[in-house]
Amino acid sequence: MKFINLHKAILNSMSEAVYVVDRDMDILYSNPAAERLTGFSPQESVGQVCHDIFCERSALCSGICPPRRVMQEQTPVLHKDAETRTKSGEVRQTQISISPFYEKEECVGAVLIIKDVTDLKVAEEKIRKQNVFLTAVIDALPHPFTVIDAETHHLKLANYAAYPGKLPENMACHELSHLSDAPCSGSDHPCPFEKVKETGQPVTVEHTHCGADGKCRDMEVHCFPIFDDRGTLVQVIEYCIDISERKQATAEREKLIKDLQKAVDDVKTLQGLLPICAGCKKIRDDKGYWNTIESYISEHTDAEFTHGLCPDCITRLYPGYANRRKQG
């Protein structure tokens, strides 16, 4: 008797609903947790057919009734998704485990343990919707966005801009960005992971990434560490911004500034004192060479020369021609 009372006390203390049914599906026992789940007291449940108390008879119980199958096949069923109807008519999402029980080696019934997972299912659905939303947001980003395993460098997630298709299993980040079998190294392509490991802080580096089409682009790589509860670096979030056009514009701007500075320097040279020969009028440059006025000014400015003769020089060099012009 003590043994029976002990077993009953154990069943009554369980947080999951427990029902015992015979081979006719009549309820022989229900514990207090079963009443909390369905609203039916043990007095209301015992002696009733189980589907009149808690079975929803939904598509989840397709084919033969699960307890009947367990008793026929004498094989337990664990954690089967089910729906349980309460006394008020509410349908709860549950998981049911069923085991046959025996008397003198004969299966005489089944024990059903029912766990209410409604809140869990609601939470799972909420998480699923959040994942769908976040995936849509990440895929909408115009820049490549990836999550990378810090130990293996394998890609755990990649948005459409990073990899437009199903991500191959165990694909490393350097295979995607550099078409290389080895991780980044050297001063020209420092591995962001190593910098993150050293500092434990977000890191920004510049890399040249090449695509499968052979085209290479200058990228600004931003890496953010993800740590586990023990503070161990487990993953890295990486997103890349294409700065090719920005770098090209910067180079063009620097060249323009350099050209303008040179022009300014040249103008300043002409504004200073020019050593000029009093006889032939040649100008001495900063290297000590004497240059004609034309060549010196042409070299230091954008001016170009055309040659002709002024009236005084015509008279001096060609007096006959000058007189005829005056008489004519």
Provide the pLDDT confidence category of residue 269 given band limits of 50, 70 and 90.
Answer: low
Is 31 inside any structural domain? yes
Quote the CA–CA distance of 110 and 259 in Å, as a whole number.
Answer: 92
Which region among 1-5, 38-42, 244-248 has the lowest average model confidence (pLDDT)? 1-5
Domain shared by 146 and 90, yes or no: no
Domain shared by 234 and 288, yes or no: no
pLDDT over 90 at 125, yes or no: yes
Is 42 inside any structural domain? yes
Give the H/E segment covering residue 69.
helix 66-73
The pLDDT assigned to 273 comes to: 77
CB atoms within 10 A of CB 34: 27
The pLDDT assigned to 267 comes to: 64
pLDDT over 90 at 326, yes or no: no
The pLDDT assigned to 2 comes to: 47
Is 183 inside any structural domain? yes
Two structure tokens written together for 1: 């008797």
Measuring CA to CA, which residue among 204, 182, 206, 192 is closest to residue 235?
192
The residue-averaged pLDDT of 216-235 equals: 90
Domain shared by 196 and 283, yes or no: no
Is 27 inside any structural domain? yes
pLDDT over 70 at 59, yes or no: no
Domain shared by 280 and 236, yes or no: no
The pLDDT assigned to 75 comes to: 92
DSSP 276: B
Condensed to tens digits (0 to 9), the pLDDT of residues 290-304 reads 988 888 887 777 778
The fraction of the chain above a pLDDT of 70, given in percent, is 93
Domain shared by 156 and 199, yes or no: yes
| Residue 56 domain boundaries | 2-117
Measuring CA to CA, which residue among 240, 237, 195, 190 is closest to residue 217?
240
Domain CATH code at residue 28? 3.30.450.20
Condensed to tens digits (0 to 9), the pLDDT of residues 132-142 reads 999 899 999 99
Provide the pLDDT confidence category of residue 1 given band limits of 50, 70 and 90.
Answer: very low
Domain shared by 14 and 95, yes or no: yes
Is 253 inside any structural domain? no
Task: Residue count of the chain, please give it.
Answer: 328
Q: Is the pTM of this model over 0.85?
A: no
Angle at 43 between CA 41 and CA 44, to 5 degrees: 65
pLDDT over 60 at 236, yes or no: yes
What phi and psi values does residue 49 have, to the nearest 5 degrees? -70, 140
The residue-averaged pLDDT of 259-280 equals: 76
pLDDT over 50 at 323, yes or no: yes
Domain shared by 148 and 232, yes or no: yes
Is 129 inside any structural domain? no
Domain shared by 170 and 213, yes or no: yes
The pLDDT assigned to 62 comes to: 55
- Parallel/antiparallel/unpaired status of strands 91-103 and 155-158: unpaired
Which region among 59-68, 131-140, 224-233 has the lowest average model confidence (pLDDT)? 59-68
The pLDDT assigned to 3 comes to: 43
The residue-averaged pLDDT of 264-291 equals: 79
Give the H/E segment covering residue 299.
helix 293-300
Is 135 inside any structural domain? no
Domain shared by 234 and 325, yes or no: no
- Residue 299 burial (CB < 10 Å; 0-12/13-18/19+)? exposed
pLDDT over 80 at 35, yes or no: yes
Condensed to tens digits (0 to 9), the pLDDT of residues 157-214 reads 999 988 888 888 888 887 878 777 777 777 777 788 788 888 889 999 888 887 767 7
Domain shared by 226 and 294, yes or no: no
The pLDDT assigned to 4 comes to: 56
The pLDDT assigned to 130 comes to: 94
Domain edge (last residue) among 117, 151, 182:
117
The pLDDT assigned to 115 comes to: 94
Condensed to tens digits (0 to 9), the pLDDT of residues 302-312 reads 778 788 888 88
Two structure tokens written together for 130: 């959040």
pLDDT over 90 at 97, yes or no: yes
Q: What's the total number of domains in the chain?
A: 3
The residue-averaged pLDDT of 248-270 equals: 81
Two structure tokens written together for 43: 């007095």
Measuring CA to CA, which residue among 16, 4, 23, 8 is closest to residue 100?
23
**Is the CB of residue 195 less than 8 Å from the CB of residue 187?**
no
Domain shared by 73 and 17, yes or no: yes
Q: How many helices (H) and strands (E) does the chain have?
A: 12, 12
Round the CA-based radius of gyration of the chain to a whole number and report it. 45
Is 130 inside any structural domain? no
The pLDDT assigned to 185 comes to: 74
Domain shared by 233 and 145, yes or no: yes
The fraction of the chain above a pLDDT of 90, given in percent, is 37
